[in-house]
A and B are shown apart, each in its own frame.
Chain A
Amino acid sequence: MSALLDGVCAALMLAGAFFTLAGTVGVLRFPDVYCRLHALTKVDNLGLGLVVLGLALQSGSWATALELLLVWFFVLISSAFTCQLVARAALRRGAAPWTGRRPP
């Protein structure tokens, strides 16, 4: 049973690491600020969530699992808000969204 649990945890954390890496690649490679924000907030939140889930299963105590989930919850809230705020600030400053015609 514990071996199965370890396997599930490892799979979750590896998936989380993969998504986080994908988000970072997106930030570095995407053409404009809106696409980058999209990659960063969505994908990184998913990656962090998967890592937190794996760690929570591994922790073996409800209190620790709850704390980890709270951490994820706060990151979700703050990243959703900051994403909106940064995007608005960029729009106010006149950062043009990428239309696909310009070379990135």
Chain B
Amino acid sequence: MTMALFDACLALCLPLLAWMVLRTESLSQAVVLFVALGLLAALGWARLDAPDISLVEAAVGTGLTGALLMHTLSWTDERPPDIVARARRRPGSLLALAALTGVLGWAVLALPPDDPGLTREVDARLARSGVEHPVTAVLLNFRGYDTLLEIAVLLVAALGARAVNPRTERPSPEPARDPLTGELFRMMVPALLLVAGYLVWVGEHGPGGAFQAGAILAGGGVVALLTLQMGAPRLSSWRVRVVLLTGPLLFIAVAVAPLFSGRDLLEYRRDLAGTLIFVVELALTATIALVLLMFFPGVRPARVSGGKAP
């Protein structure tokens, strides 16, 4: 009964918050509301028994994205956008939105009820995967190919982010304004490292893994960028390149190795599978953390006025 009430509250609050994010007058309010929406969405995933998705939503979708939005906000002039102009009835977009909602609703309703999907197949072969958590087994063993390609996509995304962000390694010479943030960072570093390491380790038999751990490390990196006057990672430095390539190259090596002994791609030996997956996850954690950190520009770009750089 209590849980039903809680779920009803969540189901009511999520669309309400989404609507408020779109309709607020001020940008900073919209960002704060967006973060609140992300936290509620994470709660919703947790209630739907999807702890992995919930963790990613909280770490990436809310934490890092919220920090990025806040950072962007500090560069923009807080001029309230013209809500009235935005809210003008646009029949085309309304129609498209209604059509999309209809299609999504139809797709959800067309699903067979209580369909276990591939859960049974995964559970039946879980013992052969080398790990005890079905999500990790699917991500790094049964469908390891997808994860491998995802990492490649992440690398491309990092390249794109670097192309857009200003290229500076040296931080701005202005002294750190607040001793407080540096102090907070120093207190939080051990906890951050501990939590990230724990998440990688626990991925073997519970919700967790490289993506969540990488996101937490990247969050720590963002705080470091903002407080310790650390320069943003640059693609031209060989250290950054090594870390960026460690995960993908190790993963590719582990994936290709079985080919030499006459097995298929990514077909690990059963007695080594657990160890291999753990090593790959550790390397991927470092790569993912750095990729996510590279989205975060270290300095303010020069203000562009009237379309021309000053």
Using CB atoms, name the residue of chain A closest to B185: A81
Interface of B is mostly: helix
Question: Nearest Cβ in chain B — how far from A28, in angstroms?
Answer: 15
The bracket for how many chain A residues form the interface is: under 10
Let me know if A84 and B180 touch, CB within 8 A.
Answer: yes
Let me know if B184 and A77 touch, CB within 8 A.
Answer: yes
Contacts of A78 in B (CB 8 A): 184
Let me know if A85 and B178 touch, CB within 8 A.
Answer: yes
Let me know if B184 and A81 touch, CB within 8 A.
Answer: yes
Say if the beta carbon of A88 comes within 8 Å of chain B.
Answer: yes
Q: In the complex, which residues 62-104 of chain A have their Cβ closer than 8 Å to any Cβ of chain B?
A: 74, 77-78, 81, 84-85, 88
Using CB atoms, name the residue of chain B closest to A82: B184
A78 to B183, CA, bound (A): 11
A21 to B184, CA, bound (A): 28
Say if the beta carbon of B187 comes within 8 Å of chain A.
Answer: yes
Let me know if B191 and A74 touch, CB within 8 A.
Answer: yes
A85 to B183, CA, bound (A): 12
Across the A-B interface, the 5 shortest Cβ-Cβ residue pairs: A81-B184, A84-B180, A81-B180, A85-B180, A77-B187
A residues with CB within 8 A of B = 74, 77-78, 81, 84-85, 88
Show 8 A/B contacts (Cβ-Cβ < 8 Å), sorted by A.
A77-B188, A78-B184, A81-B180, A81-B184, A84-B180, A85-B178, A85-B180, A88-B180
